Amino acid sequence: MCGIIGCVGRGKDTLGTLVHGLEKLEYRGYDSAGVALGGAELSVCRSSGKIGAFKKVLTERDIAGPLGIGHTRWSTHGPPTDENAHPHLDCAGEVAVVHNGIIENYRSLRDELVAAGHTFTSDTDTEVIPHLIEDERDSATDPETAFRSAIERIEGSYAIVAVFAGTELLLGARNDSPLVIGLDEEAIFLASDVPAFRDFTDRVIYLEDGEIARVDGGLEVTTGDGTRVEKTVSRVEWDPEETGKSGYDHFMLKEIHEQPRALRQCLSGRVDELGGTVDLGDIGELRPSAVQFVACGTSYHAAYYAALLFESAGIPAQAYLASEYATAVPPIGEALVVGITQSGETADTLSALREADRRGARTLAVTNTVGSTADRETDHTMYIRSGPEIGVAATKTFAGQLVAVNLLSLATGEGETRRREIVPALRDLPGDVQSVLDDSTAEEIAATYHDAGAYFFIGRGIQYPVALEGALKLKEISYKHAEGFAAGELKHGPLALVQEDTPVFALVTGDDEAAKKTVGNVKEVEARNAPVVAVTDKKSDVAMYADHVLEIPDTHPRSGAVLANVQLQLVAYHIANRLDRSIDKPRNLAKSVTVE
Amino acid sequence: MTAKPGTLKPCDGYVRSMHIRTAVVLAAGEGTRLQPLTSYRPKPMLPAANRPILEHVLDALVDAGVERLVLVVGYRRRRVQEHVGPSYRDVPVRYIRQEKQLGSGHALLQAESAVENRTIVVNGDRLIEADAVSAVAETFERDTADAAVAVVERDDAGEYGAVRLEDRDIVELVEKPRTGNYRLINAGIYAFDRSIFERIENTPREAGELALPETISRMLEAKRVRGVRTDGLWVDATYPWDLLEMATEVLVRGRIAERKRQTGLWVHGDALVSDDAALRPPAVVSADSEIGPGSVVGPNVALGQNGTVGANATIERAVLGTGSRVGHGATVVDAVLGQHATLGVDTTIPGGPADVRVGHEVFEGQRLGAVLGDRVEAGGAVSFAPGTLVGTDASIGPNAHVSGHVPDDAEVVR
């Protein structure tokens, strides 16, 4: 995915405002960046590399303008080079365009435009847009008519903002990619995400698919056929400070430490601590006879965990990788289809949800992003209320997802007895997470094992998805080989990989049959002389067989999974930090993947 | 945007270039003499006007340029952790737990792993200013001292850690001497390097406790301990009624985060004050609170967040905790109300002076109307004799007259 921004009304501060917005959007992509400033002539500056590199290039240029657009890119079509960086221009240099998404029919459009005499300078799909607009302007007099005609011709997903030479006009359009409008007293902003302009205003309008925004002195939103749309202005509740690093070395570390607060917000007003009840509004009236979860990456691990909760309540439930689900849809029957996506814009998850919707299923989104596509396209939405997450590796939002699906399962599937048992554990969870953060010795574990050849994570039952997530987190930010396994599977193959220099993280909570069996697996590992790090509440005797222990408070196993994950987040962070990795922006990854 | 607590901007002159990056805040103590107000929160979380004392302390540190905050927490630690969270005004906060409250030296010792080199150390339960923090840090560095300690002048120096200075060095530090002619006290703002940890460990325990001043007084002979005289805001609360004086100090000095309406009057943008109510400065009205018509509020009143004052009430020199409610026609003078305390219609707290008993001690002639613990409920027309202390969760029936000390959870029926 990419990040785009446009602003009108910032006067001399236009360039600074755009660059600031791009820095805030850098989590959405960071392999090239650029801006175009409006005026009698358009001034464009762009370069490959992160925003820092782009700012260096900017210092050698002297450009200004009363309005402009900017872009930070994550490559889909064409490598990250200066030429492929946005904004893209038409032949005459009279229109500049930034775009997030994929133009599916760009090949045929490009061929057609080349045949008509247009010259292309990049490998991107985006470049067809300015040339299309140029082409349409030959027959239309004003920029807006040309823009609308061009939009009509493109297929695929897009959020687009265009600026025209000789006007003080920005035009924006969206289809399947996010675009929000920020309203300040003097200025108007268009951006992929709110943090881009949150330092200036907390008043936002969420654009819908197919709508076109015209921003000059004021704002006008219309549908594709030109009908005016009355939009409601929402207020974002979080502070600008929440999107800064607050003195932490990395967003990831800050976000790990924000978990107690994030979980408190997730629970707030939804659980009655005394009555042991859960209130999710109309979602609480759902009584699904079966549930299918669809998600990708970290969210898939939350989905797996969620499916276990419903199954334990006797409701058939399964977790699917969204990309697989969308192309090979299983029989849905009466199942509720739940998409878990932090951003609400994950393309694979959206297409899985759309497939389910097309087959008549009731759909629900578990997301962190109000006004996101998943939020708007599903029948129900449960917000995880984690606040903005900037680090590419999900931490607090994963914890928020685990708590949210606990509430979902308690409200729609599980009985009174379960609620009385789980609600107090959830209520204590923010404080328990704080204890883990205060007392963790993960940094020492990282110091001991940061140069190991590979890392394995094992867990059983509810701890299995945590093992998967622990391995994914480590992979993402340390670039080390890490795998998570169901503890019982170890002896069926992966044990062959276990050696003296491959630490094994064993997740063991409680002292039931499952815990005892996992302790048995730990002994198998110990016999191969691999170092064992036990993440445990110390109820079992796993500590006897482990070289190190990362302790978590004694609580219900469902909360224990969240706590064990916090320890593994810290391990991953400190290993990556020792290896001096780009923790908040790991190579080849983007925060939310809005392409399939 | 309206300022929220904790976003007080540093005033001119507060920001100093300081090379000590870390500050350890000792915030684990209970403050037993402040009962019933400390039943559910540690002393640093008690209100200095309408914000916790701890916030003022953290503001002073951040304004002085501290870049890492280490909070030692213990008693009711979750109240601190939930309130402060992972960072304060963009400065990251790390928490260290003191499981047993075995003195200030013991508390600091727990933070050893969080201190890399030199550090500021302050008490989390006393109002201080950034200037004093900067002065201590600068003196410590400039004079390459073994320790630097802020000292302030107090008439009642014999009640605190009394200090004698020679030139600029501390030559005597003695706890509560009661006798002798002392004018200066230890203000509880220190600068140390890591050697302090070993010194604390080598200090003999007294009754199982390790007091930081004891360690410092053992350093005086062989080491250079600079005393840094400061004359800014410094307020301690030992007894519940001290919170009234503390609120006055905060209001008079304008250390308030809410938007100023006029001189000495701060009203949050989300507060609802009737046009027919009179606010007398100095006073602060916090977010989401409400004041009904005909009420007279102030001078020296801090109305906490979500507080409600009905119609025709009179409130003067009072600290009303978060969520407290004062009924129509009530009179509240010289009073401290805990969180979510409720006073019925026509309740009277007429104000001091009074003789107040705390434990076995009697404090004569204190200007105190009443202290009500968290969630105390008083029915209509209850009257409080001057100097009454009411424990947490106590409930007082309509028309009752109460005096002396009402224990926690008590039910008073006339």
d(CA A298, CA A309): 17
CB A374 within 8 A of CB A387: no
| From A475, A480, A585, A591, the catalytic residue | A591
Number of domains in chain B: 2
Q: Is A264 on the interface with B (CB under 8 A)?
A: yes
Q: For tokens 């906490």, what's the residue?
A: B304
Amino acid at A254: K
- Same domain? B232 vs B258: no
- Same domain? B189 vs B296: no
Q: Region A276-291: what's the mean pLDDT?
A: 92
- Same domain? B108 vs B77: yes
Whether residue B97 and residue A254 make contact (CB cut-off 8 A), yes or no, is no
- Same domain? B359 vs B250: yes
Query: Which pair of structure tokens corresponds to residue B82?
Result: 């939930």
Q: How confident is the model over B323-359, as pLDDT tens digits? A: 999 999 999 999 999 999 999 999 999 987 999 988 7
d(CA A455, CA A571): 11
Nearest CA-CA distance, residue B91 and chain A, Å: 5
Residue B351: inside a domain, yes or no?
A: yes
User: Among the listed ranges A168-177, A240-249, A275-284, A545-554, which one has the minimum average pLDDT value?
Assistant: A240-249
Percent of chain A at pLDDT > 70 equals 97
- Same domain? B260 vs B188: no
Give pLDDT, residue A241: 61
Give pLDDT, residue A240: 64
Distance of CA A78 to the CA centre of its chain: 23
Q: Is A260 on the interface with B (CB under 8 A)?
A: yes
User: Among the listed ranges A100-104, B48-52, B381-385, which one has the minimum average pLDDT value?
Assistant: A100-104
Residue B92: inside a domain, yes or no?
A: yes
- Same domain? B44 vs B150: yes
Nearest CA-CA distance, residue B7 and chain A, Å: 10
Q: How confident is the model over A339-395, as pLDDT tens digits? A: 999 999 899 999 999 999 999 999 999 999 887 889 989 999 999 999 888 888 999
Mutate to test the interface with A, among B78, B91, B110 (most CBs of A within 10 A): B78
Q: Is the pLDDT of residue B9 over 50?
A: no
**What CATH number should be reported for the domain holding residue B398?**
2.160.10.10
Nearest CA-CA distance, residue A537 and chain B, Å: 19
Distance of CA A64 to the CA centre of its chain: 33
User: Among the listed ranges A389-393, B62-66, B149-153, B282-286, which one has the minimum average pLDDT value?
Assistant: A389-393
Q: How confident is the model over A466-512, as pLDDT tens digits? A: 999 999 999 999 999 999 999 999 889 888 888 889 999 999 998 88
- Same domain? B342 vs B408: yes
Secondary structure (3-state) at B185? strand
Give pLDDT, residue B16: 46
Q: How confident is the model over A530-578, as pLDDT tens digits? A: 999 999 999 999 999 999 999 999 999 999 999 999 999 999 999 999 9
Q: Region B114-121: what's the mean pLDDT?
A: 93
- Same domain? B49 vs B139: yes
Residue B353: inside a domain, yes or no?
A: yes
Mutate to test the interface with B, among A248, A433, A438, A566 (most CBs of B within 10 A): A438
Which residues does residue B175 pair with via DSSP β-bridges, in sequence order? B161
| From A2, A7, A45, A266, the catalytic residue | A2
Give pLDDT, residue A84: 85
**A88-89 vs A95-103, strand pairing mode:** antiparallel
CATH architecture type of domain A440-589: 3-Layer(aba) Sandwich (3.40)
What DSSP string describes A442-475? HHHHHHHHTT-SEEEEEE-GGGHHHHHHHHHHHH
Asked about A2 being catalytic, the answer comes back as yes
Q: For tokens 């400390």, what's the residue?
A: B38
d(CA A213, CA A228): 10
Q: Is the pLDDT of residue A125 over 70?
A: yes
The C-alpha torsion from B97 through B100 and B106 to B109, rounded to 10°, is: -30
Question: Structural domain of residue B218, as residue ranges?
Answer: 22-236
Whether residue A261 and residue B86 make contact (CB cut-off 8 A), yes or no, is yes
CATH 3.40.50.10490 residue spans of chain A = 245-432, 440-589
Residue B14: inside a domain, yes or no?
A: no
Task: Compare all CA atoms of chain A with the CA of B90 and give the residue at the minimum distance.
Answer: A246
**What CATH number should be reported for the domain holding residue B165?**
3.90.550.10
Q: Is the pLDDT of residue B115 over 50?
A: yes
Give pLDDT, residue B392: 95
Amino acid at B5: P
User: Among the listed ranges A69-83, B216-230, B271-285, which one has the minimum average pLDDT value?
Assistant: A69-83
Q: Is A258 on the interface with B (CB under 8 A)?
A: yes
Residue B131: inside a domain, yes or no?
A: yes
Q: Is the pLDDT of residue A199 over 70?
A: yes
Query: Which pair of structure tokens corresponds to residue B124?
Result: 């989390």
Q: Region A313-336: what's the mean pLDDT?
A: 95
Residue B372: inside a domain, yes or no?
A: yes
Q: Is the pLDDT of residue B27 over 90?
A: yes
- Same domain? B348 vs B375: yes
CB B158 within 8 A of CB B180: yes
Give pLDDT, residue A436: 96
Q: Region A2-14: what's the mean pLDDT?
A: 91
d(CA B143, CA B208): 34
- Same domain? B219 vs B282: no
The residues near B265 (Cβ < 8 Å, ≥ 6 apart) are B279, B281, B282, B283, B284, B298
Residue B10: inside a domain, yes or no?
A: no
Residue B68: inside a domain, yes or no?
A: yes
d(CA B300, CA B386): 18
Q: For tokens 């170890």, what's the residue?
A: A490
Q: Tell me yes or no: is domain A245-432 CATH 1.10.490.10.
A: no
Give pLDDT, residue A556: 94
Whole-complex ipTM: 0.70
Q: Tell me yes or no: is domain A3-236 CATH 3.40.50.300.
A: no
- Same domain? B48 vs B170: yes
Q: How confident is the model over A43-83, as pLDDT tens digits? A: 999 988 888 888 888 888 888 899 999 998 877 667 778 88
Q: How confident is the model at residue B7 (pLDDT cuts 50, 70, 90)?
A: very low
**Residues of B with Cβ-Cβ distance to A248 under 8 angstroms:** 86-87, 92
Task: Compare all CA atoms of chain B with the CA of A437 and give the residue at the minimum distance.
Answer: B95
Query: Which pair of structure tokens corresponds to residue B298?
Result: 């102030």
Percent of chain B at pLDDT > 70 equals 95
Nearest CA-CA distance, residue B329 and chain A, Å: 33
Distance of CA A204 to the CA centre of its chain: 20
- Compute the mean pLDDT over every residue in chain A, rounded to the nearest whole number: 91
d(CA A309, CA B350): 58
- Same domain? B285 vs B302: yes
**Residues of B with Cβ-Cβ distance to A241 under 8 angstroms:** 87, 90
d(CA B199, CA B294): 60
Which residues does residue B356 pair with via DSSP β-bridges, in sequence order? B363
Whether residue A247 and residue B96 make contact (CB cut-off 8 A), yes or no, is no
Last residue of a domain, one of B177, B205, B236: B236
Which residues does residue B102 pair with via DSSP β-bridges, in sequence order? none
CATH 3.60.20.10 residue spans of chain A = 3-236
Last residue of a domain, one of B180, B203, B236: B236
Kindly give the interhelix angle for A396-412 and A259-267, rounded to the nearest 10 degrees: 20
Give pLDDT, residue B14: 41
Amino acid at B403: S
Q: Where are the alpha helices (DSSP H) in A159-257?
A: 251-257
Q: Region A116-144: what's the mean pLDDT?
A: 89
Gyration radius from chain A CA atoms: 25
Percent of chain A at pLDDT > 90 equals 66
The pTM (predicted TM-score) of the whole model is 0.74
The residues near B195 (Cβ < 8 Å, ≥ 6 apart) are B146
Amino acid at A380: H
Angle at B38 between CA B37 and CA B42, to 5 degrees: 140
Asked about A539 being catalytic, the answer comes back as no
Last residue of a domain, one of B210, B236, B262: B236
Q: How confident is the model over A408-431, as pLDDT tens digits? A: 999 999 988 899 999 999 999 999
Give the DSSP H or E segment for A429.
Answer: helix A416-439
**Residues of B with Cβ-Cβ distance to A395 under 8 angstroms:** none
d(CA B196, CA B199): 5
